[in-house]
Structure 1
């Protein structure tokens, strides 16, 4: 394992996913890339508390009609998250499109050996109606996926 791609969504649980993925990558001696996919703009309207050192979404109102501004905010989020790991070798990638497709496409382009993702506790109805990003990635991946379980407290 030489390259580990860690999926980060805009949710405080991503800090746990990033840390677990980063720890695994370091034990394997692998390069790390954090990926964030700009897919559903509704996530960016949620007012979460500060996590991984990033306060940007709390202190400003993002104009969801201005996609270029949203891209810059998303890039700032993923770069700030990477800096929070205190390792200058961690790289980042911001993609756009359907989340699972974007993750799989970049994993292939970057030649990732493993994908790390969190699994959120979605309701049964949500899973039936739209599935989950994790299950879509697992369905179509050609490389190992390390799942970090995230439970709501």
Structure 2
């Protein structure tokens, strides 16, 4: 049924759970997985002062490469065919979601798998939800994976 699974991963606990779901589904259906990391600066919006930011853009890119390498290692260990892509699209959740959807369309994904953070309060009002934007704008099936135990932190 699923031959091409797009995994949107950001290194959060919920996205690592999504990685495990993608591995399971790929093994069950003999699918190929494309892991994708979108570089965004949303986390930087909540820093007290721009000069105090612990994450600069180069750091986020390096982090994304490590996340994709980890995902690739897990997929390889499971015997799943895979590829990865780091996409630089800083901006709003809608723009990040658009980048995920564009990649799914370009790659002809049969399924999008991603974690959901479950932000609440001010962060949710300001940032919105990438996963909500994806499910409302794509015509492709989406599997959302939410961390059930504890908080979802990076």
Q: In the TM superposition, what is the alpha-carbon distance from 1:4 to its structure 2 partner?
A: 0.4
Two-structure CA RMSD over aligned residues (Å): 2.3
Q: In the TM superposition, what is the alpha-carbon distance from 1:33 to its structure 2 partner?
A: 1.1
Give the alignment's TM-score, normalised by structure 1. 0.74
Give the alignment's TM-score, normalised by structure 2. 0.74
CA offset digits 1:6-30 (Å, max 9, x no partner): 1111323322110012211221221
* Number of matched pairs: 133
Structure-2 separation of matches of 1:130 and 1:114: 24
Q: In the TM superposition, what is the alpha-carbon distance from 1:88 to its structure 2 partner?
A: 5.9
1:73 and 1:120, CA in 2 relative to 1: closer, same or farther beyond 3 A? Answer: closer
Q: Report what 1:28 is aligned to.
A: 29
Contact 1:3 1:32 in 2 (8 A): yes
Once the two structures are overlaid, the 10-residue window that deviates more, 72-81 or 23-32, is 72-81
Instruction: Work out which of the residue numbers 73, 81, 93 in structure 1 matches 2:85.
Output: 93
Structure-2 separation of matches of 1:120 and 1:68: 23
Structure-2 separation of matches of 1:151 and 1:118: 11
Contact 1:120 1:151 in 2 (8 A): no
1:63 and 1:147, CA in 2 relative to 1: closer, same or farther beyond 3 A? Answer: closer
Contact 2:23 2:80 in 1 (8 A): no
Q: Report what 1:136 is aligned to.
A: 133
Q: In the TM superposition, what is the alpha-carbon distance from 1:78 to its structure 2 partner?
A: 0.6
Contact 1:121 1:151 in 2 (8 A): no
Structure-1 separation of matches of 2:126 and 2:59: 31
Q: Report what 1:7 is aligned to.
A: 8
